[in-house]
Amino acid sequence: MTYIDNGSHSSFRIKGATGDWEIVVGLEVHAQVTAQSKLFSGAATAFGAQPNSQVSLVDAAMPGMLPVVNGECIRQAVRTGLALGAQIHKWSRFDRKNYFYADLPQGYQISQLYHPIVGEGTLEVETDDGIRSTVGIERIHLEQDAGKSVHDLHPTQSFVDLNRSGCALMEIVSKPDIRSPAEAGAYVAALRQLLRYVGSCDGNMDEGSMRADVNVSVRKPGDGFGTRTETKNVNSVRFIMQAVEVEAKRQVELIETGGTVVQETRLFDPNSGTTRSMRSKEDAHDYRYFPDPDLLPVEFDDAFVAECRASLPELPVAKRARYIETLGISAYNAGVLTADVETARYFEAVLADTGPALATAAANWLTSELFGVLKKLGVGIEASPVDPARAAALLGLIASGKISNSIGKQVLEAMVETGDEPAAIVAARGLEQVSDTGAIDAAIAAIIAANADKVDQYRAGKEALFGFFVGQTMKAMAGKANPGVVNERLKAALA
């Protein structure tokens, strides 16, 4: 693993006609705050409701309607800031960002330009090929989401649904520290992982709970920043990486063919894998921000910050380290088990029953056996047909020698089919492991008698045949014999 410090660390380059180009990326991630109701109204935030059914008169900007802030959204923003080791501003304020758009009922978005609730922080990032870097966080501010315009239901009209209008967003703004598409993807993945641990955003990108505005510029290594474009609302890690790459290449081509990059907002089209200028936003660049006179400054004390801090769970980096150092789990497995908060939760629930002694066994079983089952069923671990208690019971049976690893696989399959307790399955199907030497010796005697020739060859030195005898014995014992005992008794019988 190579450690590289902030900025101009990546060796990623775009090969242009005039030489190599470095790309500079900053991301504005919009993360929907996990809350029952909206930032300034009591309407529901659940995804997928009937159009305009989760809209209050405040969200619809009826005359005389006023915003009242949702305290939970403030709490979640502070918890997120703390998780990013960021400055928390105990005095912040909401501003109005004024522009006209069909899905912006007030004619302004309530946001925080001048005094955001969270200031500078950092996020540790690691790409798939193990390149680590630290990406600076510029700020996090709270703001309202806009509604949704549907353009394809009617030839000459767009339809507006305000269900989303007023939902709370955290805009998490990175510094322009990112230098490659891979790093951009890794940053968003790491941020998503952290938000899901904190519980301040479900990170559900296909439902739009997380979208990124991708700011890209290019420069010759060593030069100052170039003119950037902002590609709006890119909604998957893969698309973000694509958008960075294609937009950077477009800019390089443009510059190298004598053109100049204009600062503009663009749209990423996943189908064509290209970005294009967004006409509808062109003249929206004078937002006339000013403090929202319907609201007072947001103020809280150290005690509130302390409560928020106390409510934070163990975060991915710390958890992974603990798994390796105190549980003795391999670095690889520790990474897999902490990658998503749900997996870590499941793993720790299993350990709660088995005790830490079985940590390694549990880690191996989870990442191989259980993941195999989940993959086959195509479900996430939160929907696992085997709950942590039953998983722990199964691991216990294996560890205590009641059943062998191979029988364990059979039992797991049966558990998935029937949902029964593993012990019940083992009993009902008579799968207990046999260590009783009498039964084993009898089986061995029969095999020796039936294979006199092989016995002679073995005694003459053809030791490879030992495996044959083991196999025969296990077969005779229907796989339930304790392998250790079988080895020991065979050695004795063949000596």
Q: Which of residues 1-60 bind other proteins (CB under 8 A)?
A: 35-37, 41-44, 50-60
Strand partners, 143: 169
Among positions 26, 78, 83, 108, the unique one binding other proteins when judged by CB under 8 A: 108
Kindly indicate which of the ranges 19-27, 96-104, 405-413, 440-448 contains the residues binding other proteins, using the contact rule CB under 8 A: 96-104
List all residues 6 or more positions away from 206 whose beta carbon is below 8 Å from its beta carbon: 235, 236
Q: How many Cα atoms sit within 13 Å of 453 on the Cβ side?
A: 0
Provide the 3-class DSSP secondary structure of residue 336.
Answer: helix
What number of CA atoms fall less than 13 Å from residue 438's CA on the CB side? 0
**Partner whose footprint covers residue 161, from other proteins, Zn ion, Mg ion, none (CB < 5 to 8 Å by kind):** other proteins
Q: Is residue 149 part of the contact set for other proteins (CB under 8 A)?
A: yes
Q: Is 138 within 8 Å of 173 (Cβ atoms)? A: yes
Closer to Mg ion by CB, 28 or 441: give it. 28
The option from Mg ion, other proteins, Zn ion, none interacting with 279 (CB < 5 to 8 A, set by class) reads other proteins
**Number of residues lying near other proteins (CB under 8 A):** 71
Q: Which of 16, 28, 281, 455 binds Mg ion (CB under 5 A)?
A: 28
Rounded to whole angstroms, the Cα distance separating 155 from 438 reads: 84
The span of 166-174, 233-241, 268-276, 407-415 binding Zn ion (CB under 5 A) equals 166-174
The yes or no reply on residue 420 touching Zn ion (CB under 5 A) is no
DSSP string, 121-150: EEEEEE-TT-EEEEEEEEEEEEEE---EEE
Binding test (CB under 8 A) with other proteins, winner from 297, 328, 380, 484: 297
290 forms part of the interface with other proteins (CB under 8 A): yes
Q: Which does 213 bind (CB under 5 to 8 A by kind): Mg ion, Zn ion, other proteins, none?
A: Mg ion
CA 421 from centre of chain: 31
How near is the Cβ of 173 to Zn ion at its closest, in Å?
Answer: 9
Instruction: Select the residue interacting with Zn ion from 72, 124, 126, 171 (CB under 5 A).
Output: 171
For the chain, the first-to-last Cα distance in angstroms comes to: 51
159 binds other proteins (CB under 8 A): yes
From the list other proteins, Zn ion, Mg ion, none, partner contacted by residue 17 (C-beta under 5 to 8 A by kind):
none
Nearest to Zn ion of 28, 202 (CB atom): 28
Question: At residue 453, what is the residue type?
Answer: D
Sole window of 101-109, 316-324, 364-372, 425-433 interacting with other proteins (rule: CB under 8 A): 101-109
Q: How far apart are CA 87 and CA 490, in angstroms?
A: 69
The three-class DSSP label of residue 107 is: coil
Name the segment binding Zn ion (CB under 5 A); options: 171-179, 226-234, 266-274, 303-311: 171-179
By C-beta, is 227 or 487 nearer to Mg ion?
A: 227
Q: In whole angstroms, how close is the CB of 145 to Zn ion at the nearest point?
A: 9
CB of 95 to other proteins, least distance (A): 10
Rounded to a whole number of angstroms, the minimum distance from the CB of residue 294 to Zn ion is 19
Q: To the nearest whole angstrom, how small is the minimum distance from the Cβ of residue 166 to other proteins?
A: 10
Closest distance of CB 323 from other proteins, Å: 33
Q: Applying CB under 8 A, which of residues 47, 289, 371, 466 lies at the interface with other proteins?
A: 289
| Contact in structure between 377 and 409 (CB atoms under 8 Å) | no
Position closest to Zn ion via CB: 171
CA angle, corner 442, sides to 437 and 448, nearest 5? 120
Residues 167, 168, 171: CA angle, nearest 5 degrees: 130
From the centroid of its chain, how far is CA 141?
22
Residue 355's binding partner out of Mg ion, Zn ion, other proteins, none, with CB under 5 to 8 Å set by partner kind: none
C-alpha span between 184 and 240 (Å, rounded)? 7
CB atoms within 10 A of CB 219: 17
Rounded to a whole number of angstroms, the minimum distance from the CB of residue 27 to Mg ion is 10
Indicate the residue among 103 and 342 with the shorter CB distance to Mg ion. Answer: 103
Closer to Zn ion by Cβ: residue 56 or 109: 109
Among Zn ion, Mg ion, other proteins, none, residue 376 binds (CB under 5-8 Å by kind):
none
Residue 210's CB is within 10 A of a number of other CB atoms, namely 26
For 254-270, give the DSSP string.
HHHTT--PPP-EEEEET
Least separation, in Å, of the C-beta of 151 and Mg ion?
A: 21
Q: Give the 3-state secondary structure of residue 295.
A: coil
Q: Tokens in use for 468?
A: 């044959």
Rounded distance between C-alpha atoms, residue 479 and residue 409, angstroms: 12
In the block, tokens 């030791």 appear at 463
Q: Does 213 bind Mg ion (CB under 5 A)?
A: yes
Helical pair 483-494 and 437-450, crossing angle rounded to 10 deg:
50
- Residue 383 interacting partner from Zn ion, other proteins, Mg ion, none (CB closer than 5 to 8 Å by kind): none
Which tokens is 406 given?
Answer: 């191979």
Question: Which range, of 146-154, 168-176, 183-191, 413-421, touches Zn ion by CB under 5 A?
Answer: 168-176
Chain residues that interact with Zn ion, rule: CB under 5 A: 171
Using CB under 5 A, list all residues that contact Mg ion: 28, 213
